[in-house]
Chains A and B, each alone.
Chain A
Amino acid sequence: MSEKPTMIEFRDVQKYYGDYHALRGINASIRAGEFFSLLGPSGCGKTTLLRTIAGFEEISSGAVLIDGKDAAHIPPNKRPTNMVFQSYAIFPHLTVEENVGFGLRRANLSKDELARRVGEALEMVGLKGFGKRAAHALSGGQRQRVALARALILKPKVLLLDEPLSALDKKMREQMQVELIRLQRQVGITFILVTHDQEEALVMSDRIAVMFEGQIAQLDDPETLYRRPKSRQVADFIGTMNFLPAEAKEIAGGGFEVAVAGLGTCAIPADQAPGGPTGKGASVGFRPETLTILYEGQQATDRETPGTVVEVVYYGDMTYYDVKLDGVAEPVRLSMRNVPGRPVLDIGTRTRVAWSPSALVLFR
């Protein structure tokens, strides 16, 4: 992966809207051919950042480089990027064919060549035979596909996707996620996706930049982001995490000795504290799936702590439990896969919870 050339580079990008500081020093590189996501809550600047690549937002200072060239004075119609808009922006007065072929208007293609390329593009997104339809007669998912075909027909170096799936229902969204991944592998173009849906970002991306308040809080591949979040904010935004107060002190030879309130002391290696050195007033985090309820006769492979079930949420394949661990102030949430012969526990059941120091993450 790492030997792939850089496609987009942000160099200390700043953006002000009047007094409002929308982008606060963005530094990042996006590699050619990768599926990159900008993830964050609404108002974090992710869409603004995407639009600086397309050329719709002028940056206040810094530089955006596209394929090694400073894009500052290149207008949107001359950039090797194409965008799929949140509203899809399908031209309502044109047919599907005219929409998809819109970008080729200036290419001076013969009628046959144009029809062939439009047909190819429609086939690629699974809309073969829809060419003559009026654009407004399409469903949400079909509009999405038309927008994709329209953007990809120009063979851009970068495809920009501004929350393209947010208007679709859950089933359709999941289907489109898979199709987008397939499409990206097929065409090999750099995809940059803006989303506020952490699950979507985890499923689709090679790498994700998590943004808060105009800054990139962490840029990593999905697994690192999930397993080793650098801050509580990132950990909280991506998936669910239990936080417990802790005290940590560095030990000789690297790593930390962590005293978790109510759970005792353990030693962890430095990579479990991705946010850097910490001291008093720290906290540790556990993902729900790293905690396990021990049934009768089962033994913990590492540590175990007794507790009481205080809440049960049944999801069919999974059950989420809130367990009040003895000696820990707040109940922790954990998830158990429902398998035959393993009953769902009732509220108030006394139980034991297995955990492992190797699964915890230490935060400042």
Chain B
Amino acid sequence: MKTPGLKIYAVIYLIFLYAPIILLPLFAFNNSKVIAFPLSGFTTAWFGEMWADTQLFRAFRNSVTIALSSAVIATCLGIFAARASTRFRFPGKAGLLGLIMLPLVLPEMIVSMSLLVILLAIGVPLSIFTIILGHVLICTPFAVAILSSAFQSLDRSLEEAAYDLGETPFSTFRLIVLPLVMPGIISSLLICFTISLDEFIIAYFLGGNETVLSVYIYGQFRFPAKVPAIMALGTVLVCISIILLSTAEFFRRRGIAKTGAKDTGGFL
């Protein structure tokens, strides 16, 4: 960078983006119930309190169950859609793909309300299952977008070559296509997992008696005494995110090194 102005701008930009996150561990280890400077001392008590909270644990377990299920289902659907959109021509393809991508631009509020109305009307009890349903709906467009680019960059003659060499269409998919789009599948799983994990509106509307993490955290903010424990929880979540993304990036780079493709930079 030649101009110092741009450098300063970039630094300020990064501080603005990430400084609030640094506050999380700062207050998670601060031995005061009040979230304010100056810091009064070091403690790990909040982590203990967080660990002892059974309701929190239940919410966490629900969230992970929902996020895992949504990620797997949305990614599977995404594989089918991406495969169809990149390989085959069929009538109404553009419209159909548009319909799949629609939840991306539809306000979540409207999606969750209409889902709620329909589910109640046909008598489906609200549970983890209904949240998964809603999350699959909003995660699928992301999965399709990520996987389409993965499938698109696949040379079609690779499949034809395997077919030509005696493999069936199915074994060709398993032996050639799947390994080569695996980085795309992993990033799709991760993105969907993340989206589902921090989604609030659908989880709030369609959860019934089951609470998920985001809804639980929101509820706890009403009690000032609980806030430090939430800070501890936030710290744990940030750590998990960093570990997950680093792992994903590691696999992505290894995949690229293995196939010898050019690294086009960052995740996604």
Contact = CB atoms under 8 A, between A and B. Distances in A.
Interface of A: 54, 56, 75-77, 81-83, 85-87, 89, 91-93, 102-103, 105-106, 134-137, 150-151, 154
B84 to A, nearest CB: 19
A55 to B, nearest CB: 8
Contact of A56 (B160, B258, B260): B160
Given A86-B157, A87-B157, A76 B259 contact: no
Contact of A87 (B155, B176, B180): B155
A85 B157 CA distance: 7
A77 B167 contact: yes
A154 B166 contact: yes
Interface in B145-162: 155, 157-158, 160-162
Q: Is the interface of B mostly helix, strand, loop or mixed?
A: helix
A330 to B, nearest CB: 44
B161 A91 contact: yes
Given A87-B155, A92-B180, A93-B179, A137 B163 contact: no
B168 interface: yes
A93 B180 contact: yes
Contacts of A105: 166-167
B157 A82 contact: no
Given A92-B180, A92-B260, A137-B260, A77 B160 contact: no
B259 A93 contact: yes
B151 to A, nearest CB: 15
B161 A83 contact: yes
Contacts of A151: 164-165
A69 B161 CA distance: 23
Contacts of B17: none
Interface residues of B, number: 19
Contact of B162 (A56, A92, A102, A154): A102
A76 B163 contact: yes
Nearest to B182: A93
Interface of B: 155, 157-158, 160-168, 176, 179-180, 258-261
B259 A92 contact: yes
Contacts of B161: 83, 85, 89, 91, 150
A59 to B, nearest CB: 17
Given A83-B164, A102-B165, A154-B165, A134 B157 contact: no
Contacts of A136: 258-261
A188 to B, nearest CB: 21
A91 B260 contact: no
Contacts of A89: 155, 157-158, 160-161
Contact of A134 (B165, B166, B168, B260): B260
A102 B155 CA distance: 17
A76 B164 CA distance: 5
Given A77-B166, A137-B260, 6 more contacts: A85-B157, A87-B155, A102-B165, A105-B167, A150-B161, A150-B165
Given A93-B258, A136-B259, A136-B260, A103 B166 contact: yes
B150 to A, nearest CB: 14
Given A77-B166, A102-B162, A154-B165, A91 B157 contact: no
Contact of B261 (A85, A92, A103, A134): A92
Contacts of A77: 163-168
B268 to A, nearest CB: 21
Contacts of A137: 260
Contacts of B168: 77
A54 B161 CA distance: 10
A134 B179 CA distance: 15
A75 to B, nearest CB: 8
8 contacts: A54-B164, A76-B160, A77-B165, A89-B155, A89-B158, A106-B167, A134-B260, A150-B161
B165 A82 contact: yes
Nearest to B259: A92
A221 to B, nearest CB: 29
Nearest to A147: B161
Given A85-B157, A86-B157, A93-B180, A106 B166 contact: yes
Contacts of B167: 77, 105-106
Contacts of B165: 77, 82, 102-103, 150-151, 154
A77 B175 CA distance: 15
Contacts of A75: 163
A251 B107 CA distance: 87
A56 B156 CA distance: 12
Chain A CB within 10 Å — which of B157, B165, B261 has the most?
B165
Contacts of B162: 91, 102
Nearest to B161: A89
Contacts of A76: 160, 163-164
Nearest to A107: B166
Contacts of A154: 165-166
